[in-house]
Structure 1
């Protein structure tokens, strides 16, 4: 994973279920303000999905909330196994 892919996935995985706007993701991971953040975040999310999703056209882990942003949704099995730690 690239530095930005790791940063986005790490940010979202640390806050499962939290809805992040593209602007929030960009500012947290790229640490700057830019007009091109929409494309940068969308492209990075797409590359992450190719790497972690079984079916990138029907993602299980990173959900898109139309016109708002993205949220990380861990599988129920993953949540259950982490509770036993």
Structure 2
């Protein structure tokens, strides 16, 4: 059986229904404008998050705080996630 990837556990039919409702509520001419605004908002949020991370890292290095421990923790978490993915890969339920 072929498993189809889903976005947030939403099937294609549900996505089509949501798009249909969006077109009915906002109109086809407004959807690109709304999508563009959402994209810009997400970009601003990502840039702000990156700026905050950069400032925290810069301040920590300036004050002599060792930031390598966070890299070690991130590395360990990624390894654990990979091991869990390998383990659950054979156990995934079939649809």
Q: Which has the higher strand share?
A: 1
Q: Relative contact order (C-alpha < 8 Å, sep 6+): which is higher?
A: 2
User: Taking structure 1 as the reference length, what is the TM-score of the superposition?
Assistant: 0.28
Higher helix share: 2
Task: Give the TM-score, by structure 2 length.
Answer: 0.26
